[in-house]
Each structure stands twice: as C-alpha cells, then as structure tokens.
A and B are shown apart, each in its own frame.
Chain A
Amino acid sequence: MANTTAFDDLVNTINAEIYSGTLTPLQLSQYEIQRNWLTATSGGSAAVNEAEFIFANFPGTPGLPLGDGSVGAWMPVAHVHPLSRGSVHIQSSNPLTLPQINPNYLQKSYDLKALRAIVKFGKALSQAGSFGTAISGSITPPDSAFASDDQLDAYALRLKSMGCAF
C-alpha cells in the first residue's frame, strides 16, 4: 500500500494508541484486531484489506460525463478501518428530533496518515501501465494537492469539513 517507511509509521501509530492507556476496553480490543489485520501478510489467514479502490464508471456517478460533455474516470478510494470513534446521541427528548451524529472523522492521526497513503496509491494506479496511458491528469484531488504530504492532508481535512463519506 505504501512504502516501507510509511507502513512502519502506520503500525507504530496504532501501537502508540494501544499503549497510550487512554482507551476503553472495547477500543483496546478493537485496535489490537485492527493492528493484526494491518500487519498480517498476504499469505496469512487473517489478511484483511485496509483500503478500497473502487473503479466504478457507471452513469449517474459524479463527474461522469463532466459538465462540458467530456468523459472522465471515477475511482473513489476508501480507508475502511479507521481508528476514530464518534457517537450518536439524542439532542432532544422529542422523539421526532433527529439525533446528533458525530462521526469524528480524522480524530486520530492514524486515519489521516492512512488516507494519505491510500490516495497516493490511487494516484500511482492512475499513472501505471495501460490505465495510465488512458489518463491525462487528475480532476480531484487536483494535481496541486499532490505537491506535498501537507497539501494532501490539507485537502483531506477540507473534505472532512464538507462531509466526504457517502
């Protein structure tokens, strides 16, 4: 998924959470399971994917075709095992009032690091082999977001404020 250094950083970040002593017993158990998913080798029975790359170009998907009639390619990427934990609580005693849902996206630094690695891998996919020869550039995230890790983080944090999961 990422180069060795970035991968080691992800494992170290999970470990730091596990040994922080601030987790609930449930979180602790879940994080240990998630670390095992992450570190299991592809030959191991416990290997579980950490990311999804969904190449799904069907009509009605955003941006296909583009507003000017040209056709683009759409490949949303997802980090499927984040460490962040949010909450769902009522905000009124009135049963008809919707509850407050706070997903707490990117609460843990691990999630931003993982998302960054996944988006960079998606970009690398778009430049690889035959697929790469069909693609002339990025629409979103824009090329400028790939200039540095900081730029990519800023892009992801901006999405967070707009609610990017769907």
Chain B
Amino acid sequence: MTPQLLELSGIGKSSVLSQLGIEQLQGMELPVGENLQDHLMVDMKFFLTNDTQSKFDPSVHERLLTTTRPTVPHTRSKYSPTLGERNPGQLWYRNAISLEPASLSGEYHRLR
C-alpha cells in the first residue's frame, strides 16, 4: 500500500488528513508516509589522458549500446549516437552535455 492510497483512504496522521478534508478512520492515527529513506549519489567524472583515449574503440560502445538499450529502460537512454563532427568515426551523444547544470558545463572544456 502506498502512503497515497492509505492517506486517501483515511489512514494516516490527522495533521495531514484534516487539512485536506479527509475523515480519519477510527483508530487509524498512524505515521503513514514517514521515515522515508533515500540514499545520495554524487556524480564523479574524470578526464582521461590522451593516451588512454586513443585506445577507445567506438565499435565496442556501439555493440554495448545496441545490446543494453532494449533491455534497460531508462529515462536517460534517449541519446541517439551520431558521428562526432570534430572526431569523425567516434561515437558521441548530442544530449549528454545537456544533462549537466549550466554552471558545470564549462568544466568540460577545461584542461585541453
């Protein structure tokens, strides 16, 4: 049962229910929807040295892309691989940079 279903059914804290005009069922003053836990993730990305990048094989990525995309539904799997204009033959994803906050996007062009 989701907190939404329970609260709409009159089960939960009166402080939540009363202000929305929902009548609390008798004896159902329960901490519904409380104690939510969610973990935090920090995105860490690193520049690779030119030497390491030279070993990058686009065909491996292309194969992984075609084998993982159909089975991994993900809100961020919408990138369409295209040939990079600056590096013909290398795959890249046009939308990748738009995922980043504007204030961080400048970092991509540092260091080179």
Interface residues of A (CB under 8 A from B): 24, 26-27, 58-60, 62-82, 84-93, 95, 99, 101-106, 111, 115, 118-119, 122-123, 126, 133-142, 156, 159-160, 162, 164-166
Contacts and interface: CB of A to CB of B under 8 A. Distances in A.
A134 B52 contact: yes
Contacts of A59: 61-62, 64-65, 68, 79, 81, 91, 93
Contacts of A89: 3, 7, 12, 16, 33
A65 B39 contact: no
Given A62-B76, A71-B56, A78-B41, 13 more contacts: A24-B34, A59-B65, A60-B93, A63-B96, A67-B97, A68-B86, A68-B108, A68-B112, A69-B92, A72-B48, A79-B40, A80-B39, A135-B48
Report which residue of B7, B34, B46, B109 has the largest number of chain A beta carbons within 10 angstroms of its beta carbon: B46
A139 B34 contact: no
B27 interface: no
B21 A67 contact: no
Contact of B37 (A67, A85, A164): A85
Given A59-B61, A59-B64, A88-B3, A140 B44 contact: yes
Contact of B34 (A85, A92, A134, A138): A85
A127 to B, nearest CB: 10
B16 A90 contact: yes
How many chain B residues sit at the interface, stated as a range, is 35 or more
Given A69-B86, A137-B47, A164-B43, A86 B108 contact: no
A165 B43 contact: no
Nearest to B66: A59
A119 B92 contact: no
A134 B107 contact: no
Given A87-B33, A93-B21, A136-B47, A67 B92 contact: yes
B35 A60 contact: no
Contacts of B112: 68, 70
